[in-house]
């Protein structure tokens, strides 16, 4: 049975990547995985890097490698703001390996407990998540 559709917009600093009606949005907030259906209660959530899935229907799924971001549900619409939204096919495994290594180096170099280290950890987490998506794609 087809579910009720609702409008979803995915925005990045480089422009809009998706703006259409979907049945379900699946992503990951700072507290865990989350699925959004139509008529969800108003929400403001912080998103962590993961694979963003937009279900146009049971079988038609649009996927993106999603960086850190935010999800707002209000007035029956979902607005997803993310720093990156890359189609899994566009991910470059070699490039990701290099970025991950750079982040690991930065993490190892940084002083324990410093802001530098904290930021390197966030970079590492993003590239790890993207690498997993690239491997699955």
Partner 1 sequence: MAQRDVKNRIASVKNIQKITRAMEMVAAARLRRAEQRIEALRPYAGAIRRMTRQAAEAAGNVPALPILAEHESEERVALLLVTADRGLAGAFNSQIIRAGVRTAADYQAAGKQIVYYATGRRGVSSLTFRGTEPEQGFTGFTERPTYANAREIAHCLMAAYVDGKVDRVEVLYNGYISPISQEVRRETLLPLQQATILEAETPEEADRPTGHTALVEYEPEPEEILQRLVPDYVEISIYRALLESTASELGARMTAMRNASDNAGDIITDLTLEMNRARQAEITQEIMEVVGGAEALS
Smallest separation, CB 137 to partner 1 (Å): 19
Instruction: Pinpoint the alpha helices (H) of 83-114.
Output: 93-109
Q: Which is nearer to partner 1, 1 or 112 (CB)?
A: 112
Spatial contact of 35 and 55, defined as CB atoms under 8 Å apart:
no
Q: Are the C-beta atoms of 124 and 97 separated by less than 8 Å?
A: no
Stretch that binds partner 1, among 37-45, 51-59, 129-137 (CB under 8 A): 37-45
Q: How far is the CB of 122 from partner 1 (least distance, A)?
A: 8
Residues in contact with 107: Cβ distance below 8 Å, sequence separation at least 6, in sequence order: 117, 120, 121, 124
Residue 21 CB, shortest distance to partner 1, in Å, is 19
Count the neighbouring beta carbons within 10 Å of the beta carbon of residue 78: 21
Number of residues counted as binding partner 1 (CB under 8 A) = 31
Stretch that binds partner 1, among 56-64, 79-87, 129-137 (CB under 8 A): 79-87
Q: Where in 3-32 is the site for partner 1 (CB under 8 A)? A: 11-16, 29-31
Least distance to partner 1, CB of residue 34, Å = 8
Residue 130, SS3 per DSSP: helix
Contacts for 17 with CB less than 8 Å, ≥ 6 apart: 10, 11, 64, 85
Tell me which residues touch partner 1 (CB under 8 A): 11-16, 29-31, 34, 41-46, 68, 70, 72, 74, 79, 81, 83-84, 110-111, 114-116, 119, 123
């Amino acid at each position: 049975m087809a579910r009720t559709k609702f409008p979803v917009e995915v925005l990045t600093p480089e422009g809009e990547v998706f703006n259409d009606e979907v049945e379900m949005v699946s992503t990951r907030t700072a507290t865990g995985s989350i699925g959004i259906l139509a008529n969800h209660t108003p929400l403001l959530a912080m998103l962590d890097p993961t694979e963003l899935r937009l279900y146009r229907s049971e079988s038609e799924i649009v996927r993106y490698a999603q960086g850190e971001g935010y999800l707002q549900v209000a007035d029956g619409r979902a607005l997803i703001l993310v720093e990156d939204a890359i189609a899994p096919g566009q991910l470059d495994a070699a490039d990701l390996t290099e970025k991950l290594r750079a982040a690991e180096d930065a993490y190892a170099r940084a002083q324990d407990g410093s802001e530098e280290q904290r930021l390197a950890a966030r970079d590492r987490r993003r590239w790890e998540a993207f690498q997993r998506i690239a491997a699955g794609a």
